Amino acid sequence: GENVEQHPSTLSVQEGDSAVIKCTYSDSASNYFPWYKQELGKRPQLIIDIRSNVGEKKDQRIAVTLNKTAKHFSLHITETQPEDSAVYFCAASIVRNTGFQKLVFGTGTRLLVSP
Amino acid sequence: NAGVMQNPRHLVRRRGQEARLRCSPVKGHSHVYWYRQLPEEGLKFMVYLQKENIIDESGMPKERFSAEFPKEGPSILRIQQVVRGDSAAYFCASSPRARSEQYFGPGTRLTVT
């Protein structure tokens, strides 16, 4: 089936703490997992992505880990800052019979970083 | 280096009217995707187009909705005879290749009164 579950739905942290958002997917053939950040009223922005041939990827304060066996992937933000406050969406690719890589999105996590 | 452009940014339509949403992809991108986002929800795939072709429309309602991406000009998402339930933010994304990262436009917020 096509399903991506995302937890938690809301996450409040103090500035400087770490934040972790977790997603699970259902299609074992999924091989591409992007994360998007969406500020209020703005467009979703790609912040990091990972493909299934790697287990972890890091970009400054942001890292993503992937466990293909368990069909889990997670976003880790270290040393959080107030400007990290936004809604974060995970997504997993589903390859359709047309060859098209469709993205199925999670329901989002509202992250609030308090100063 | 312009990103994905969408217009209008806000659109108000009365029930029964038509809504036309436009999307200009990143220059050089020939793959366009339309998504719908209801308040407090995630993005739901609607349709995927390459120049002049609809590749996958599995997420688009069979009635009242149509999409095109002509050889020249922007991609158009058209909603005929709008109903209140069509009120949402409609995002367009583009990519340079079929299985590469997608870049989103600013969205069109459709309100049906």
For B22-49, what is each residue's pLDDT tens digit?
999 999 899 999 999 988 788 999 999 9
CB pair distance less than 8 Å for B99 and A32: yes
Task: Please provide the DSSP assignment of A67-110 as one string.
Answer: ETTTTEEEEEE-S--GGG-EEEEEEEEEE-TTS-EEEEE---EE
Q: CA of B6: which chain A residue's CA is closest?
A: A43
What sign results for the dihedral spanned by CA atoms B11, B101, A60, A73?
positive
B45 CB neighbours in chain A (<8 A) are: 102-104
B103 CB neighbours in chain A (<8 A) are: 46
Least confident of A46-50, B70-74, B106-110: B70-74
For B70-103, what is each residue's pLDDT tens digit?
988 999 999 999 999 999 999 999 999 887 889 9
A101 CB neighbours in chain B (<8 A) are: 98-99
Task: Please provide the DSSP assignment of A14-62 as one string.
Answer: ETT--EEEEEEES-TT--EEEEEEE-TTS--EEEEEEETT-SEEEETTE
